[in-house]
Every structure is written in C-alpha cells, then in structure tokens.
Chains A and B, each alone.
Chain A
Amino acid sequence: MAEDLDNIASFEAKETSRKLPVGWLILFWGLIIWGIYYFVAYTPAISGWSQEKAYEESIKK
C-alpha cells in the first residue's frame, strides 16, 4: 500500500493564485470604513452616546 503524499503545487491554481475579487475587496475596505464610523458614533468619550442615555430616551415618550 503506497502512501499518497501531497504535491503542494497541485493544491493551488496557477493563473488565479494572486487574484482578489473586486467585490470582496469592496467588502473588506467597506467594513473597515464602517468600523471607523461605528467606533466614533458609539464611543461615549467621542460622541457622547451611551447605553444609559439611549435607554432613558427610549422610555421618555
């Protein structure tokens, strides 16, 4: 019984090995930009938002 050892070269496509799909790149950078926005908007020391204030407002009506 021969052991089939792996030929790493056969694991990865040659022509497309360095490709990054455009849609995926947009997702990648978009999420980083969104993350910066969200961090600024929901950090009490920067925007003044806090979960306590948000709660108070929600029960005001």
Chain B
Amino acid sequence: MNDYQYDNQTVRGFIISSIFWGVVGILIGLWISIQMWAPSWNIAPYFTFGRMRVVHTNGLAFGLGIGAIFGIFYYITMRLSRRPLLFPKLARFHLYLFNAAITLAALSLFAGMNQSLEYAELEWPLDIGVVILWVIFAVNIFGTIIKRKEEQMYISLWFIIATVVSVAVLYIVNNLFIPAGLFKSYHLFAGVNSANVEWWYGHNAVGFIFTTPILAMFYYFLPKSTGLPIFSHRLSIISFWSIVFAYLWTGAHHLVYTPLPNWIQTVAIVFTMFLIAPSWGSVVNGFYTVAPDWSKMRTNYLTKFFILGITFYGLQTLQGPTQGLRVVSQLIHYTDWVPGHVHMGTMGWVTMVVVASVYYIIPKIYDTEIYSEKIANMHFYLVLIGQLIFSITMWITGIQQGALWKAVNPDGTLKYTFIETLVKNYHFWHMRTLGGIIFTVGMLFFIYNIFMTIRKGKALSAIKREGVR
C-alpha cells in the first residue's frame, strides 16, 4: 500500500461528490429553463423559479465547482509538492463536512432562507460553516506546500494559493451580516455600499472560482495529458500576477449607470478591460504549447477538451470586458445576454477543463485507462453543441430585448410594453431548453464513462491483490 492511496481516495470522494451535486444542479437548471416558457412548472412554494434558481447557481458553483476544486487541488498539490497531504485525516473530514454543508445549503435555499445577495445567499450559520470548511482546506494546502519536497513552485501552485487566499477574503468581507435570529440577518453595509461590496465579491467569485482554479488545472493537466511542455514560463508568471492584481478592482462594472459614484465605475471598467491581457496570456500560452504538434487534437482525446476550453475562455474574456464598457452595458445589461455570457464560461470553459481533469485523474488513481474514448468523444461533441445553442440563442435574444427596451417614439414614450418584449423571447427560451437537454445528455455520457472506469479499476486492483497473495 503506497502513501498516496488514502489521499487518492479522498480526491476520488470529492470528485464523485461534485459529480453528484453537478447532476442535481444541471437538472434544476433544466427545470428552471422550462419554467421560463411554461409557468405551470412552478410548484409553490418550494419549486418556484425564485427558490430553484439559487439552488441551481449555488449547487453548481459551490457543489460541482468548489467540490471539484477541493479534490483536484489536493491531487495537484500532492504531486507538485512530491509528498502526500500533510493532514490526510483532516482532508477526509473536510470531504464529509463539505457534503453536509452543501446538503444544508440546498435545503435552506429551498426553504426560502436567503441573504438576498447574489452568490452570497446562504444565511449566516451556514456562512460560518463555509468559513470553517475553507480554513480546513487552507491549512492542508498551505501545510503541504510549505513542507514540500520540490523546491521550485510550478505555476499551478501559484494559482492555487491565489484561489485559497482570495476566496477567504472575499467570502468573509461580503458575508459580514448582523444576525436577526437564526435564519435571518442584515448586511453590515447599507445601500450603495452594500451593492459595491456585493459586486466586488460577486465578480471575484467568478474570478477566483471559475478562473484561477481552472487555470491551475489547465496549466497542470495540459502538459500532463499531452506530454507537451508549457510554451513560456515567463508568460504564465506575468499572466498570473497581472490577473490577480487586476481582478479585485473590477466588481463595480456590474453597477454601471447606478448611483455608485462615476469614478468608481470608471476605475472598474479600466481594470476590467485590462484583464483581456492576462487572460489572453494564458490563452496564447495554451495555443503555443500545443502548436508544435497539432495532431494531438486527433491522437489524444483530452487535448481537444483543453484547447476548446481555453478557446471559450479567450472568447469569454473578450466578451466580458467589452460588456463592462458603458456603451455596451446600456444595451445588454439586465437582458438574457448575461446568462448567455455566463454559460459560455461555465459550460464551455469551466466544465470542459474540469471534466478533462477528471478524465485524467480517475484512470491514474486506478492505474488503468479510461473505459471508452469513444464515449468521451461523444460527450465532448454533445456538451459543445449544447453550450453553443445555449449561448448563441441568449445573445440574440439579449440584443433584441435591449433594443426593444430602448426603442422610443418621437414623443419620448416607450415603443414597446414590457410584455411585448417578453413574448418575443419564447422561441429562444425553447431553444435554450433544447441546448440544455443536449448538454445534459453529454454529461450523462461523461458520468457513465467515469463510473465504468472506476468499476474497471476496482476489478483490476482486486485481481492484483489476489495475485500478490
């Protein structure tokens, strides 16, 4: 029995948990997409859009996203530090506590307990739980890195450190609430200050849950799975420091044309546009890494997940900053364009890289190969098509919505009533549900493939054990 066996089981536990919460989150996402065009799918009070949407976002960001980040970070940190985790038992406890917290989170949101700040919906007792969870994680990650047996710190470790530190600061500051009973509380900041802190947090949740940790995985698993070394160490380091520096200033771009002082909006927009550079640093680095041998796109089934993933990251980080510009924001803000944007990031970039990392890890843990590359390829094309349908239909309908809202008669009155602009969305909302179904079927292929690989791996190790006896 080698030293890593126990830690690998913890990693696998996190991966399976995150897949479970992913299924819950995706199915709820499908359900609420139907609610948009079929109101009878709202079943009051628990299964209404208002309650289910937060279960969808929290379930996928914190259940699937953070769950995968915990497991995959443990995996990467051990290997780059060349040692097992410093506190293996603590990591196992962390796994159980994580699932307990997500379960309670989902139940409390269904029950309607909500701090009413986006991505910070969980009420204060759960916030305390989340902080404890994160401290446990930080202690293990930092401890393992400090006691590492490899002097040089590869770029992925820097992204891991930035993630652990930033999420802690963001989460604690924005969740400073004054309790008014066990299930109700009020934000410490009021009015426009509350909005500013909330979006500083909200946007950086995107930065430090959907960006830096995924880049840590990208920089680690791309060379591991292709055998091609990262093109430029310097480019990766400059991209890292400039992205972590710039990201924390950008939150106010969510508050363009609000009572927030103009200069704060302007500073946020400046840093937001600057973010294109460090984001594209990683995009360029990824492309140049595979450039010496593009045939890997055909011969190595994981390469296309990473390259399409980083391509959508590149598109996302062009589209996102552009949205921050006042002239663009006034057309598309508050329209369906925004979920189109978000889902290109989550379905096109985050999911692509996370599933590819899982495809890499699970067979490695069992010292075997993936159950079926063919199924993995099917999975790839289905999630790609599903995501494209979702994003593109929402961009079209978003622009249409914005244009209709802004259309005025010569006397200055609005040309269209709100309901007139709403009914024009229905076709696109049907198509979005279709895109969602295709994506979901793709993910089912993935789950089947992973579980068959685990089954195969278990059978193999049983045979090996018999052989030793």
Contacts and interface: CB of A to CB of B under 8 A. Distances in A.
A35 B273 contact: yes
Nearest to B292: A13
B374 interface: no
A10 B270 CA distance: 38
B261 to A, nearest CB: 8
B82 interface: yes
B232 A27 contact: no
B2 A17 contact: no
B273 A38 contact: yes
A24 B235 contact: yes
A59 B271 CA distance: 30
Given A1-B2, A16-B232, A39-B267, A51 B82 contact: no
Contact of A20 (B150, B232, B269, B461): B232
B79 A5 contact: yes
A11 B263 contact: no
A12 B229 contact: yes
Interface string A16-59: 11111101100110011011001100111100011100000001
A6 B284 contact: no
B80 interface: yes
| Max count, chain B CB within 10 A of own CB: residue among A10, A19, A23, A31 | A31
Nearest to A52: B262
A17 B235 CA distance: 8
B266 A39 contact: yes
Contact of B364 (A4, A39, A50): A4
A20 B238 contact: yes
Nearest to B80: A6
A35 B274 contact: yes
B270 A35 contact: yes
B273 A11 contact: no
B281 interface: yes
Interface string B61-80: 00000000000000000011
A10 B262 contact: no
Given A8-B154, A18-B233, A27-B277, A1 B263 contact: no
B467 interface: no
Given A3-B2, A50-B262, A17 B270 contact: no
Contacts of A16: 231-232, 288
B148 to A, nearest CB: 11
B418 interface: no
Contact of B266 (A1, A2, A32, A38): A38
Contacts of A23: 284
B234 interface: yes
B263 A45 contact: yes
Contacts of A5: 79, 82
A35 B274 CA distance: 7
B262 A51 contact: yes
Q: Lowest 5 A-B CB distances belong to which pairs?
A: A35-B270, A13-B229, A17-B233, A28-B277, A42-B266
26 contacts: A1-B2, A3-B3, A4-B79, A8-B150, A11-B154, A11-B223, A12-B230, A16-B232, A16-B288, A17-B233, A17-B234, A18-B234, A19-B231, A19-B234, A27-B276, A27-B277, A28-B242, A28-B277, A35-B270, A38-B270, A39-B270, A42-B326, A43-B266, A44-B262, A44-B263, A51-B265
Interface of A: 1-6, 8, 10-14, 16-21, 23-24, 27-28, 31-32, 34-35, 38-39, 42-45, 49-51, 59
Interface of B: 2-4, 79-80, 82, 150, 152, 154, 223-224, 229-235, 238, 242, 257, 262-263, 265-267, 269-271, 273-274, 276-277, 280-281, 284, 288-289, 326, 364, 367, 412, 461, 464
